Amino acid sequence: METTLKRPVSPSAPAPAGTGLPSLDAVLQGLRLGDNVVWQVDSVEDYLPFVEPFVAQALAAGRRLVYFRFARHAPLVREGRGARVHRISPAIGFESFTAEIHRVIEEAGPGAYYVFDCLSDLAADWYSDLMLGNFFMVTCPYLYDLDTVTYFALQRDSHSHEAVDSIRSTTQLLLDVFRRNGTLYVHPLKVWARQTPTMYLPHTLEGDAWRPLTESAVVSEVLADLADRRLDAVARHDLWDRKFQQAKDVLDAYRAGIAPESEARELFEQLLRMMLTRDERVAELATGCLDLGDLLAIRRRMIGTGLVGGKAVGMLLARAILARQSPRIRERLEPHDSWFVGSDVFYTYLVRNGGWRARRDQRSPGSFLEGAAKARERILGGVFPDFILRQFAAMLEYYGQSPIIVRSSSLLEDGFGNAFTGKYDSVFCANQGAPAERLAAFLAAVREVYASAMSEEALRYREHRGLLDRDEQMAILVQRVSGAVRGSLFFPQAAGVALSYNPWVWSKEIDPHAGLARLVFGLGTRAVDRADDDYTRLVALNAPSRRPEASLDDASEHAQRRVDVLDLEANRFASLTLEEVVRRAPDVPLDLFATPRRGAPPILTFERLLSATPFVEDLREVLSTLARAYRFPVDVEFTLNVLPGGQLRLNVVQCRPLQVKEGGTIVAPPTDLAADAVYLESRGPVVGQSTHARVDRVVLVDPDAYEGLATQDRYEVARVIGRVTRLEPAGTRRILLLGPGRWGTSTVALGVPVTFAEIQRVSSICEIVKARMNVVPDVSLGSHFFNDLVEANMLYLAVYPDRPGYRLAEEALRAEPNRLPELLPDDARLADVLRVVDFPRAGDARALWLNASCIDQRVLCYLAPASAHARPAGEPVSAA
């Protein structure tokens, strides 16, 4: 409960409010401002005799009365009586529903009176008693703080003990209402801060008066009869469990030829929305490759209730599609035994650890970052309910000491349109030690994933994508790490990212529709998290021997040198040199992955894997099969292990729609340009959609001036770039960002350490690489950074000013008026390093044009009349 009830209360204090039934007021010592009253009933008809007098008294006293209408039962308050009726559908989701309820309460202000429909309908819509309890635990204290008086109803014996206990512990009054032989009874179970000798006895209505049952024989007879008529203990199970038990019974009956297929199909569709997805495109995919038995199998490996999240759904669908549509790949797939922590557990954790209000405030563009840091602290220091801890412990018993990875799997993650790549955390657990140590490490990993849902990067991504007001609950996918124990280390032999469409055609021999892989030795983290201290192997899947590097010397220079592993001795994730891996795991087979060299350590080229095994053919089939099923390009994370007999085992651990747009052709640039009209010329790399468009603003980090900056000043340049790009609303200008080395690097010696949130409104980025720089542009295909570029439809370029065929007019750009001191006066001291140049220039009607072809791998940025190169009708001014 987020708000402790601290207001001092005297047992003899006068009651400022009432039920509208004077005799019942006498029993309860009246109602007080702040009271939440829960009526536990067998049917809504037994709630009405108490709602009507409460409403009549509130309106007669001139109170503001609000009625929340959301249930399927008949209305409790008639229209036109003077109450404000707010109709809200629980189908919009827990977070949106609760935020709207709180908005209305805040708008009504202190002292209002409220009537809620029967809360049990919320559990029916959300398929979760857990969320019903969470809703009450965040709403009751809010009402209490505003000195309101509120009526709720709850169907008795319809909800789990955990849900009822959370309501009982939070509310001020809990009253049991029942009938026996046509007689209505009220049995107060909790009346906070009030006490009389007979208050907690059952009361019956005699005439207009509520009389306590004081004779033991009568009380025991009434209550014993009530107990006999109540449902058995199974009815106290969560609504979720009852629904799945029903599904199991129907599936058994269908397989036995008793139940019709239509009944099984109807339950499949219900469970699909309960557990997998509410996105229609994803649901259509799931309907074609899963059945009711598959959903029940997922449930057997699920902790808590709610949705399993986008990352889990993507993995499950990919494996199901491959198993059904590609028998050859099905035989090569490594089995999975993943577990799923439902999204409802996340909200339960937030509610019970005081994080709900910060979460609610994050729905507003004006306050989405306020309170986030404090909420993260609460999450990292929070505790889990005992019933969840017991399920976590049982899961860890199943995995034993096998390494696991705790992965984010939020509702919106990995869907059509919003990938959230790299925005949320995933945490490896080496999973060594005693059971208590392993549980503690797992809980810390879950907390870290939960806390990442409130990181600034994740929240800015949601704000930029217009998702702040969408339900974004965090489920968790727990996977056994693919690989084997080798000495004191654990890792797969290879892993990586594969794209069904290759957006970088570095050779005429490459077919972009054949796909591409970003391949590493060891854990796949070096493939998805761009490593500034290392390189990966890029493989065009129709021409695997055609490398982006110009020569074998380049290939050797830019080969992978470090390997990510799980160190079982240290019980942690580690990045080691290849030489150290070989020393600590001398039996690791390298012949498929490394090329020996005379007098030097071997280098990871993957040549024999690509040429002497069916790996490339298998990966192409995986990608083409999934892309056909999705009817969309896909982005797949995978691992590869070679069994002792030489058989390959692929493990598809993640699959998401790839938001890439195909390159396309564009008009050729002019051939008669004056030399001083050309600002930039490049022969690649060019990654992204071919572009012919005006550039409204150039933001240049001067390579020479940047080289002389101290480390702290380099970080400050990155922050100023973020301020420049956010000066105007997204879409106002097309911005070309130019800077030395790698954009988004975490190593300031290698480039400019911006975050993606700081440059997400930019249309094109260009990396400047001069001969003296000890760095090459890192296209990073398949990495989180690359996926951000793709999702924003941002063009990636590189220019080597010292090489033939490349040009950067640095002196011309330095001579242009720098608008930085005018736009950001407080940052004017960096004007020699950071230049902001707008086009068209004063006195020059020519526009700056960017013509970039990903097919031809060429770029030309030049001045030309705007009228001669008019922007096509309807073209947006910004990819953002």
- Tell me the per-residue pLDDT of 105-125, one tens digit each, with 9 for 90 and over: 999 999 999 999 999 999 888
Q: What average pLDDT does the chain have? A: 88
- Contact between 461 and 792 under an 8 Å Cβ cutoff? The reply is no
Does the predicted model carry a pTM greater than 0.75?
Answer: yes
H or E stretch at 178: strand 173-180
Question: Alpha-carbon distance 449 to 452, whole Å?
Answer: 5
Query: What is the Cα–Cα distance from 117 to 48, expressed in whole angstroms?
Result: 10
Contact 563, 484 (CB under 8 A): no
Band (879; pLDDT cuts 50, 70, 90): very low
Q: Per-residue pLDDT averaged across 432-440, rounded?
A: 96
What 8-state DSSP symbol labels residue 232? -
pLDDT of residue 592: 93
- How far apart CA 791 and CA 788 sit, in angstroms, is 5
SS3 484: strand
**Phi, psi dihedrals of residue 802, rounded to the nearest 5°:** -90, -5
Separation in Å, CA 174 to CA 21, 169, 186, 239: 17, 10, 10, 21
For residue 303, list its beta bridge partners: 341
pLDDT of residue 772: 67
Residue of 871 and 398 predicted with greater confidence: 398
pLDDT band at 779 (very low <50, low <70, confident <90, very high): low
Q: Which of 101, 73, 69, 100 is nearest to 85 (CA)?
A: 69
Residue type at 736 in one-letter notation? L
User: What percentage of the chain exceeds 90 in pLDDT?
Assistant: 63
- Give the integer Cα–Cα distance in Å for 661 and 501: 9
Amino acid identity at 438? R
Report pLDDT for 467: 84
pLDDT for 233-283, tens place per residue? 444 567 888 889 999 999 999 999 998 999 999 999 999 999 999 889 999
The pLDDT of residue 1 is 39
pLDDT band at 3 (very low <50, low <70, confident <90, very high): very low
CA distances from 596 to 311, 552, 564, 807 (A): 39, 14, 21, 39
Output the pLDDT for position 870: 47
Q: How confident is the model at residue 59 (pLDDT cuts 50, 70, 90)?
A: very high
The pLDDT of 17-45, averaged and rounded, is: 94
Which of 39-43, 215-219, 667-671 has maximum average pLDDT? 39-43
**What does the pLDDT read at residue 874?**
36
Cα–Cα distance measured from residue 458 to residue 464, given in angstroms and rounded to the nearest whole number: 10
Q: By percentage, how much of the chain surpasses pLDDT 70?
A: 92
- Identify the weakest region by mean pLDDT among 133-137, 213-217, 516-520, 765-769: 213-217
Asked which of 10-19, 391-400, 482-491, 783-792 is least confident by mean pLDDT, the reply is: 10-19
* pLDDT on residue 553: 53
Distance CA 107, CA 447 (A): 34
Confidence label for 783 from pLDDT (cuts 50, 70 and 90):
low
Rg (CA), the chain: 32
258 or 771, greater pLDDT: 258
Dihedral pair phi/psi, residue 34, rounded to 5°: 105, -10
Cβ contact 756:457 at 8 Å:
yes
Residues 6+ apart with CB under 8 A from 108: 64, 66, 84
Residues 6+ apart with CB under 8 A from 488: 567, 568, 569, 584, 585
pLDDT at 705 over 50: yes
Q: State CA 653 to chain mean position distance.
A: 17
- What local confidence, expressed as pLDDT, does residue 466 receive? 82
pLDDT tens for 128-144 read: 889 999 999 999 999 99
Q: How many CB atoms lie within 10 A of CB 280?
A: 9
Alpha-carbon gap, residue 185 to 735, rounded angstroms: 72
